[in-house]
Each structure stands twice: as structure tokens, then as C-alpha cells.
Amino acid sequence: MKIFLIRHGQTNWNLEGKIQGSYDSELNNTGIIQAEELSRKVLEFNYKFIKIYSSQQKRAVKTAAILSESTNVDYIPIKGLEEINLGEWEGLSWSEVQEKFPKEYEEWYNNRRYTKSPKGESYRDMLERVLTVIYKIINENCDDVAIVTHSAVIMCLQCYLTNTPFNEMMKFKTDNTTIREFNSEVFNIK
């Protein structure tokens, strides 16, 4: 079974360089066009999946809905696939975070897998919740599925699956509507 992890389309906060995290932003016009282009790419390259799962955040749901309409595959918003909650840092740029939260940022930056942002969650917290959902999806399906989720979710999963330190996650940078393909067997790492 294959799992196609897909990042949602662009939002205004993506464009403005703001940290979104748990903030429930909508796709902008470019994001809608990106989701339509994603759908054409999926059809053109003959990607096959029996279900589309998505984070419950609006930007992922809208991307999944557009993909669903083009492919005639049902989509299911599911709790647990949401972006990392970065608490008080949401709505700021990374440079603003460094300026306003220098000590917290340094601690987080040096140990982001386990350190939480103020009123947020750690990458470890997010990883545990996302993996719980992915294991459930794998156990309920035999055929390929798509999962529309978020950049940090995908980068974090790639660090976990490749045993890459989380401070190197940017090597797995994921642009809007990028598709990452995995065999479900790789998720048997616990």
C-alpha cells in the first residue's frame, strides 16, 4: 500500500511568511489554482488512490475537496493530521519570534523535537498524534491513499522515517501541493 502525503495549497500567511500552525487559514486564489494543478498532475501521471484523507484545517480540506472533485475519490477530514501548534508564535514571522522570544526560540531551535513553543506543542507531540492517525489509516485500508496535510507534518515524518535529526528537517522542505510517496511498510518503525 502506498501513502501519498500532500501539502495543502498556498494561503496568505504562507505568502506573507507568517507562522500558521494551528491557525485555521483559508487557501488564497493561488492556493486554489495550485490545488487544481495538483489535480491535473494526479490525473496526468495516473496516481491511483481509493481515499483522500485530510487535516481538518480549512486549507487542507479545500485542497482535498478540489482533488476529490477532479479524481472522483471521496475525501475524509480526520482529526490528528493538523499542523503543529506553535502557540504564541503563530501569526509572527520567524525573525519576529527570534526578536520577541529569544530565550524560548533558542531552546526550541536547539531541541525542537522535544521543546514546546510557548502555549504550543513539540514536534514529538505532533509526531505521536499524526502517527496514531496514519497507523489507523493503514489498518483500515489495503489500497493506496492520499493524505492532505501540512509542511511541518510531512517534514517531521520524513525526519522520523529516515532517522534524521529534527534540526535538519529543512532538507525535507515541502512546497505547497508537493506530493511525497511512501510505502506503508516504512511506518512500521516504532
Indicate which residues carry an active-site annotation.
Answer: 8, 83
Residue 158 marked as a ligand binder: no
- Beta bridge partners, 183, equal 2
Residue 46 marked as a ligand binder: no
Residue 13 marked as a ligand binder: yes
Residue 9 marked as a ligand binder: yes
Residue 34 marked as a ligand binder: no
How many other C-beta atoms are found inside a 10 Å radius of the C-beta of residue 110?
Answer: 9
Maximum CA extent, the chain: 49
Q: Name residues whose C-beta falls within 8 Å of residue 6's C-beta, 6 or more positions apart in sequence.
A: 38, 63, 67, 146, 147, 148, 149, 177, 178, 179, 180
Residue 10 marked as a ligand binder: yes
Q: Name residues whose C-beta falls within 8 Å of residue 11's C-beta, 6 or more positions apart in sequence.
A: 20, 25, 26, 27, 28, 31, 59
Residue 12 marked as a ligand binder: yes
Q: Give the C-alpha separation, 85 to 116, whole Å.
A: 9
Residues making up the binding site for substrate: 7-14, 59
